Structure 1
Amino acid sequence: MEIEGKIVTVMESWPLQLTVQTQTGFYDVVLRLDTQITQNERIVDPGSLHPDLQVRIRGQVSSSNPLAMNAQMIEVLQ
């Protein structure tokens, strides 16, 4: 699954969790140890994620909640 939207909140727990607002609603996104985060085609640290960033996220939807997903890849679009 792929979503695109704006980061609304970053919960600094481990694993890192994001709330992302898309045109169709809010998604809860959990980062994994192997989640790749890129900006301008360069790998960046998870600490660079913050509210108001526009992102594209690819990952697997939770079987128990269609508005939750595990991120495999996060691309920062701003």
Structure 2
Amino acid sequence: MSFITKLKPTPKEAILKYLEGVEEASTKKIAKKLGMAWGTADINCRILKSEGKINKKTHYQGYRKSNIWSLKVD
């Protein structure tokens, strides 16, 4: 018998829940608010986009580029 309990939401669940509360957010802001590494937030946002759950918009500011994520509205 296994006593494994789920204490925390997975990164994907946490990102979806955070995006419900805000209109849109950058990868950096998502990582900072949820206390995860930038790479973890980026990979999970890309996975959620491939699953069709969120939208991606790219914002350019000079030579810098940032990804802006928002929930997909049906």
Q: TM-score, normalization: structure 1?
A: 0.27
Kindly indicate which of the two structures has a greater share of residues assigned to helix. 2
Larger Rg belongs to: 2
Kindly indicate which of the two structures has a greater share of residues assigned to strand. 1
Using CA pairs below 8 Å that are at least 6 residues apart, which structure has the higher relative contact order? 1
